[in-house]
Structure 1
Amino acid sequence: MQIDDPAVIAEARAVFDRYEAALMANRNDELDAIFWADPRTVRFGITEILYGHDAIRAFRASVKAYAQRIQKKVHMVAFGKDMVATHLEYERIGTGLVGRETKIMVRFPDLGWRVVSAHVSLLTPVDPGRAMR
């Protein structure tokens, strides 16, 4: 198995960037289309635990706007030609909150790249005097 084939990373990055643009513009139909339309798809969010594409779609329909964010670091690892793990570290604009997002993307022969699992979290602000060292 080839790890980090540049062509695979580039394809996955294009989907990643399309997802980010759709998220910031609240284009729910496009976000839903990037996820695998299957009951086995999972999305763990900041305030929600969603099993299945229908639950993810219902959550998206309830969101009026997503918090704007600045990407701090994007890290991707391709495992062969059909699976990529993406990791995003971001900062919510105007809040200083740091968030993390992991997506597992799989290339399906008939669908192309789809997110099969996603996890989003925010770091709890830490008192600098109590931060772990």
Structure 2
Amino acid sequence: MIINDPETLREVTDAFERYETALTTNDVQALDGFFWNDDLAIRYGAAENLYGYGAIQQFRAARKSGSFTRRFDRLVITTYGKDYATASLHHHPGNAPGKVGRQMQTWARLPEGWRIVAAHVSMIDDPDV
């Protein structure tokens, strides 16, 4: 198995960057398109556990969130072969001083393209504050 094949890494990085733009601008339609449209898709959020694409889509539709900013501290994208990857982000959210955000995504290349099949979002107190 090839770890971080340059072409695959570029594809996943591009998908992650498009997801990040949709997330920070609250583009709900685009966000829905990044997740695997299946009952097996999972998203653990800061205060919710979402099982299945329908639950993820309902959460996004009901969320009253506007645009936001965040400062990346560390982004690690790792590909495993040509069809599987993880993206791990450590960041400082602009709307939550004194907090550190953590985001992990599992990406899979499916017939419809790269999709997030599992995600986890959490926030902790910034240990450096």
TM-score computed with the length of structure 2 as normaliser: 0.92
* Whole-angstrom distance in 2 between the partners of 1:22 and 1:65: 12
Structure 2 CA distance for partners of 1:127 and 1:73, relative to 1, 3 Å = closer
Q: Distance in 2 between matches of 1:106 and 1:83?
A: 5
CA distance in structure 2 between the partners assigned to 1:99 and 1:59 by the alignment: 19
Give the share of equivalent positions with the same residue, in percent. 38
Matched pairs, number: 127
1:102 matched to 2:104? The reply is: yes
Mark the CA change 1:97 to 1:81 in structure 2 (over 3 Å): closer, same or farther: same
User: Which structure dedicates a bigger proportion of its chain to strand?
Assistant: 2
Query: Residue 125 of structure 1: CA displacement?
Result: 4.7
For the aligned residue pairs, the C-alpha RMSD in angstroms reads 1.6
Structure 1: runs of 5 or more not aligned: 129-133
**Match of 2:59?**
59
TM, length-normalised to structure 1: 0.89
Equivalent residues of 1:26, 1:64 under 8 A apart: no
Other-structure match for 1:80: 81
